[in-house]
Amino acid sequence: MKNNHIVHLPAEHLQIGERIKLRIKYLNCSQYDLARYCNVTVRTVYNWCENKSIPELKVITLLCFRLQSHISWLITGRVEQHQWVDEFPDGFFDFLNVIREVPAESRGDVLRSVFNMVVNLYSQVNSRNRHFINDVDSYTPLDASYFQVYKHEMQENLTFSERFTLQKIQLNLSNNTIAMACDVSAKTVYNWSTGKYLPSLESLPTLCNVLRANLTWLVTGACDVPQWLNVEQMEFKSMLYQLNKLPVRITCQILRLTSIIVKEIQGAAVR
């Protein structure tokens, strides 16, 4: 059973506020909920939706987590080749948000533990689905064109300015060259590289073109969800397929309970 569509249609003709409203409507999420999640005012979210202002780069990751949206789609409206078009179980993005604090090298193991617990529990309790975990014959495999070497290594540990500077040095680009392409001053580009300011969302697509950088990587340090989770693409595809065969309420409840447990473990580790 497929649950929660993350599939986005091309929407370059829409402004970012309209794309935000589309996701709010689809998820039945209120502007108040979104404001709390992103730690901004309700008026700020309202202004986003009405295109009176544009979200700042520093909140875009939280915004996309809450809207269960791809960063590149929300910013540009384009559906990129490496955009995941699978359906994520209800509660899966909340679970991902919880394990953001888990070290990158351990996220895959956490996901595998939760996945094995979910499918094995269901298989043991439901005698008609004893071989549930091995039933992977009917899912659609990834297109061969997807399997390309990532353009960038996982570098979540770096700040935006550090990733920006890394690409700038690698391509031997001057601040003036970047400034001319992005229609800003060289001082502005210098401030981006020092971390004093972050680029506006409008300038990001052009900036990524100049830097030959994946937009999602430049913002977050990872090119896509599997790289962020430190799992192979096919393994992740198989997990989603298995989880989406379960009844929606079961996966949602288990993922939420697991999220609570992970939070407790994280809290105990801090104390």
Asked whether residue 140 carries a pLDDT value surpassing 90, the answer given is: no
Alpha carbon of 235 to those of 53, 215, 229, 230: distances in Å?
Answer: 40, 24, 11, 11
Contact 200, 57 (CB under 8 A): yes
Non-local CB neighbours of 257 within 8 Å, separated by 6+ positions: none
pLDDT at position 81 is 57
Give the confidence band of 168 by pLDDT, cuts at 50, 70, 90: very high
Q: Is the pTM of this model over 0.75?
A: yes
Nearest one of 222, 84, 79 to 155, comparing CA atoms: 222
Give the confidence band of 127 by pLDDT, cuts at 50, 70, 90: low
pLDDT at position 82 is 53
Average pLDDT over residues 213-239: 90
Asked whether residue 131 carries a pLDDT value surpassing 70, the answer given is: no
4-76 matches 160-213 in fold: yes
For residue range 259-268, what is the model confidence (pLDDT) as tens digits? Answer: 898 888 888 7
Average pLDDT over residues 232-252: 84
Q: What share of the chain is helix, strand, coil (3-state, %, to 5)?
A: 65, 0, 35
Taking the C-alpha atoms of residue 125 and residue 167, their distance in angstroms, rounded to an integer, is: 52
Domain residue ranges of the chain, discontinuous segments joined by +: 4-76, 87-148+226-270, 160-213
Q: For 160-213, which CATH superfamily applies?
A: lambda repressor-like DNA-binding domains (1.10.260.40)
For residue range 7-16, what is the model confidence (pLDDT) as tens digits? Answer: 578 889 999 9
Average pLDDT over residues 198-212: 96
**Per-chain mean pLDDT for the chain:** 86
Residue 88, H or E segment:
strand 87-88
Could you confirm whether domain 4-76 is CATH 2.40.100.20? no
Percent of the chain with pLDDT over 90: 51
